[in-house]
Amino acid sequence: MNIHSLWIGWLLAGSGVSMVAGEAAPSAGAAASSTARLVIRAGAGQEKISRHIYGHFAEHLGRCIYEGIWVGQESPIPNTRGIRNDVVAALKEIGIPVLRWPGGCFADEYHWKDGIGSRAGRPSMINTHWGGVVENNHFGTHEFLDLCGQLGCEPYICGNVGSGTVREMQEWVEYITFDGQSPMANLRRENGRDQPWKLTYFGVGNENWGCGGHMTPEYYADQYRRYATYVRNFGGNRISKIACGPSGGDYRWTEVLMQQAGRQMWGLALHYYCGSGRNSRSATWFDEADWFHQLRSALRIEELIVKHAEVMDRFDPQKRVALIVDEWGAWHAVEPGTNPGFLYQQNTLRDALVAGVTLNIFNQHCNRVKMANIAQTINVLQAMILTRGAEMIRTPTHHVFAMFRPHHDATLVPIELEAGEYRLGAEAIPAVSASASRDAQGRVHITLCHLNPNSPVTVSARFEGARVSRVRGQVLTAPSITSHNTFEQPDAVRPAAFDGARLAGDRLEVVLPPKSVVALELE
C-alpha cells in the first residue's frame, strides 16, 4: 500500500496520546518494525516539484525583520544597505526561492506608503498584533525588494484587505511594477528607483477569516473579487493573485472561494500550524510522548491537502488553481524570559523531522501544491536562523532545507513505500516518510525521514526504469530528541556524510539511524 494512504488512515483514526508534563514516555516505540520496503520508479514521473514549495515567510513580528534581517546602514554588524550579510549568505545556502512579506496578521494593518521615502521622515506605528512595540518603518517596500534581489528570490507581497482600501492596493502594485509615467511610478523615481521591479506573486489579504477582518467566506469572496480587479498587470509584468484560503480543516471556506472566486485567482492559501500551541511546554523540554504527538500532528497536513484538493477538483478539475500553503510549521511556547508577543522559540531535531516529513508530503502532492512558505525565516516560530546581536546560528530546520534543495524544480519520481509502524502505546504513525525526484542531469534524489527515536530501520529499495551505479548522501541526527544548536554550540546538530546505503544491482539497502533525516543522490 502507498504510504500516503496509510498516513491518512492513521490520521483520521484520532489520537489518544497523553501529554502530561513530567511523565515518563511510554516505551512501546522500541517495538516498532525494523524493516521497510521501497519501490522507486526512476524512469517514470511527469510532475515538476516547484522550487517555490521551499519558500519562506518573513513578518514584522518579534526580531524577524528588525535585528534578524535589518540592522541599518550604520550598524557595526556587516551589512549591505542595512541588510545583514551573514543572514543573506545563510539563506542563499538553501536556495530560498520566494519570500512572503510583510505578514501575516501584520499585513492587514500595514500601510505601505508609511514605509517609503526618507527613513527619517517615515512615521512610526504600533505593531498591535505582535508585542505592542513601536516600529519606525525603516524596512519597507524598497528594502524588502532589495533583500529579494540580494537573495536572488522572488518577492511575494501580501496586501492589506482588512484595514486598507482598494485604491491603496492598486497604487502599491502600480508603484512597484509600472514603467511609464504615472503618479505612483513617478513617486518611486523620486524615492530613488527608476526602473520597476518584477513582481509575480501578490496576496489579496491574509487570514481574513480571523485577524484580517473576521469575515465570512461569502463576504471575503466578494471582497477578493473587488480588490483583485485592481491588482493589475502593468507593462510586461504578470501577477499571480493569491486568495486567502482556509484555516486547517475549514473545507466550506475552500468550497465558497472556489465556487465564487476561483476564476479570478491563481492560488488559494491554506494555513496550518502543527505545533504544540502557545500554551505548550518549551520547544526544548519534552519527552517521547510530545515527540510522537508533534510528528503525528505534522503528518495531518496530508489529510488537509487531500481533502481541500478534492473540493478544489470539483470546481477546477484541470488543477489550474494552485494550493498555496503559505504559513506552516511548528508552533511551541516561547523561550522562557522572552516577550510572548515575539514568538521566539528554539529549534530541535524534532523540528527537523517536522520539516522533513512536511516537505516530503508537499513533494508528493506537487500536482496541486505549487508554493509553500514556512513560518518564519528568522527568530520567529520554526526559523531557519537565530540571531543574538551580531551572532547568528543555523537551525536543524535550515539544514533540512539545504538537504532537500536538489528537489527544487526536479521531476517527481513515483514511489511505493511500505513503511512499517512507529507505535507509542495504542497509537501508531508510519515509521518512515519519503519522496524522490529526478533532476535535469538524470540523477535521482531520495529524502527519507525516520520518525522512531529508539531503533534503526532498514529500508530495502528496488529500482525500476533506471540503472544506478553510485550512491552518496547526508544524514541529520543527534544524540537526543531535544538536541538543538545554541550560540555556545552552533553545530550540535548538523548534517554529516552518510555511509549506511549499499547498492547491489537494482537493489539498494539503506540503514536509517533512529530519529534521522537522510538525503541520497543516486547516479
What residues act catalytically?
Answer: 207, 327
Q: Locate cell 519597507: which residue? A: 140
- Residues 359, 324 contacting (CB under 8 angstroms): no
The x, y and z cell numbers of residue 10, run together, are: 492513521
Inter-residue long-range contacts of 485-494, CB under 8 Å, 24+ positions, other chains counted: 485/347, 485/386, 485/393, 485/394, 485/395, 485/396, 486/393, 487/386, 487/388, 487/391, 487/393, 490/393, 490/394, 493/348, 493/349, 493/352, 493/396, 493/399, 494/394, 494/399
Q: Give residues with Cβ within 8 angstroms of 14, minimum separation 6.
A: none
Peptide bond into 155 cis (omega under 30): no
Instruction: Give Cα separations from 198 to 91, 178, 181, 267, 432 (angstroms).
Output: 21, 10, 17, 19, 41
Q: Give residues with Cβ within 8 angstroms of 438, minimum separation 6.
A: 42, 45, 410, 411, 413, 444, 445
The x, y and z cell numbers of residue 438, run together, are: 529526478
Residue 101 β-bridge partners: 157
Q: Give residues with Cβ within 8 angstroms of 508, minimum separation 6.
A: 40, 460, 461, 462, 463, 468, 471, 501, 502, 522
- Residues 269, 245 contacting (CB under 8 angstroms): yes
How many whole angstroms separate alpha carbon 377 and alpha carbon 58?
Answer: 5
How many whole angstroms separate alpha carbon 58 and alpha carbon 53?
Answer: 15
* Burial (Cβ within 10 Å: 0-12, 13-18, ≥19) of residue 39: middle
- Residues 401, 377 contacting (CB under 8 angstroms): no
Q: Give residues with Cβ within 8 angstroms of 167, minimum separation 6.
A: 230
Residue 295, Ramachandran bin (φ over 0: left; ψ between -120 and 50: alpha; else beta): alpha
- Residues 115, 140 contacting (CB under 8 angstroms): yes
How many whole angstroms separate alpha carbon 473 and alpha carbon 436?
Answer: 13
Among the listed residues 495, 496, 411, the one whose alpha carbon sits nearest the alpha carbon of residue 445: 411
